[in-house]
Structure 1
């Protein structure tokens, strides 16, 4: 399922009720044509489907939160309800598009020698409430501006530039470049980095200066989240020296 559709369903957005009515109306019409006595029962049954579906989503979300809290406690990481100060860390797309965006469900800690911040980013895109998970990893040297996303994440991350299709062998997902240079993107996605990314569900990243943020689909299982954390660390560990030098040159021109 597309990341933006999944977000809408989990959030109980209006689209959920639009879908419900889109099915309920034909059911009612069919009931009137076939057997009027059953109209009420058919609509009631479909209403119960909506309730069960909503409860299943809530139970699943609660289970995922509990599983992540247990995993974080085992690692000695810290959880907090929100982190509004984090928004000031990312003055680049897709984080700077909505001044009223929220950062919630924040976890902070240290993994493989790096400080990290992870949580959920909520924002509004053309009147639609959307969101995704983020993973901000500590970097000690600047990186050039670059934003690479799998096509499935583009609608929910709402990248602000027109995408350029990237052809990355051995990766099933279609990746797109939304900001930065194509040669930089292909240098970052070299064969060893692709090996690390191929083992986990697709995710993207935005970087600029001393900021590297992985952009991930929301509502993941803790096992998937931990695997993607390791893959993002691998991506940084395998970052070519050429990219670090390009980042230092870019940073020198910005100051």
Structure 2
């Protein structure tokens, strides 16, 4: 719902009509001369809300662009070639998916690409922010997300609840093996996740993609970037070995 409202999609107008039609009916039955005022007031509320969302989004984009320039990162409006990096869910489920607001650069010795992923699931327009971090060794297929992100990042997949002590919110497994997820979410990794707003990740082979709620402020986005790097630095050797074995079976 939040994504739909921020995007100003058709859902906004559906909501408008859902409220406007009962007002018209009530106005016709009770006090017809107030119908116009009701309709005008409701339209003004909708217009003000839409404009406020657009202004807030513009401020977020300008703040991020300023920070990216100061850090020497590169920004582009779109990145269709980025989609070819991820031949695994949720990125390969919608052939018409798009990537926008792309930023690329280097942080803590790792090349990265970040931006906004937009796709459709069962006629719903959905989206989230992503961060693709460079890794030198393969990882096994795995997708772990906080429950609040599952609806937009893995809407077509069935979750398995993860029972991990200390996590700030409920996390679910959408792809991969549960023992791999448990191995990754060790005590130090949980401490990292506790230090920032909840986020998830997908990995497979030589791709590791962190997944975040859209419309984050710059401070939160930079904190997420550090936290994602920390997760990779804390990745158990067991998972790197499992990834190498998985990659070997794929190539044979």
**TM-score, normalised on structure 1?**
0.95
Distance verdict in 2 for CA 1:50–1:159, change over 3 Å? closer
Q: Which has the higher mean CA deviation after the structures are superposed, 196-205 or 55-64?
A: 196-205
Query: Which SS does the other structure have where 1:201 is aligned?
Result: coil
Q: Which residue of 1 aligns with 2:140?
A: 144
2:168 and 2:193 in contact (8 A); partners too = no
1:160 and 1:178 in contact (8 A); partners too = no
Q: Which residue of 2 aligns with 1:15?
A: 11
Which 4+ stretches in 1 moved above 4 angstroms? none
In 1: Cα distance, 2:50 partner to 2:99 partner: 24
What is the 5 A alignment of 1:46-57?
46-57=42-53
Q: Quick check: 1:249 aligned with 2:228?
A: no
Structure 2 portions without partners, runs of 5+: none
> How big is each residue's C-alpha offset from its partner over 1:206-251, in whole Å with a ceiling of 9 and x where there is no partner?
0001100011111111111111111111111111111111111111
> How big is each residue's C-alpha offset from its partner over 1:186-222, in whole Å with a ceiling of 9 and x where there is no partner?
1111111111111211111000011000111111111
Structure 1 portions without partners, runs of 5+: none
1:28 and 1:39 in contact (8 A); partners too = yes
1:206 aligned to which of 197, 202, 219: 202
Q: Quick check: 1:164 aligned with 2:150?
A: no
Q: Quick check: 1:111 aligned with 2:107?
A: yes
2:41 aligned to which of 41, 45, 58: 45
Q: Which has the higher mean CA deviation after the structures are superposed, 22-31 or 74-83?
A: 22-31
In 2: Cα distance, 1:161 partner to 1:16 partner: 26
In 2: Cα distance, 1:188 partner to 1:51 partner: 46
**TM-score, normalised on structure 2?**
0.96
> How big is each residue's C-alpha offset from its partner over 1:56-101, in whole Å with a ceiling of 9 and x where there is no partner?
0100110000000011011110001111111111000000001121
1:164 and 1:177 in contact (8 A); partners too = yes
Shift of 1:34: 4.2
In 2: Cα distance, 1:15 partner to 1:81 partner: 25
Q: Which residue of 2 aligns with 1:228?
A: 224
1:204 and 1:214 in contact (8 A); partners too = yes
Shift of 1:18: 1.4
In 2: Cα distance, 1:244 partner to 1:224 partner: 28
In 1: Cα distance, 2:157 partner to 2:146 partner: 14
- Paired residues, number: 251
Q: Quick check: 1:101 aligned with 2:101?
A: no
Give the CA RMSD over aligned residues. 1.2
Q: Which residue of 2 aligns with 1:89?
A: 85
1:93 and 1:159 in contact (8 A); partners too = no
In 2: Cα distance, 1:57 partner to 1:179 partner: 34
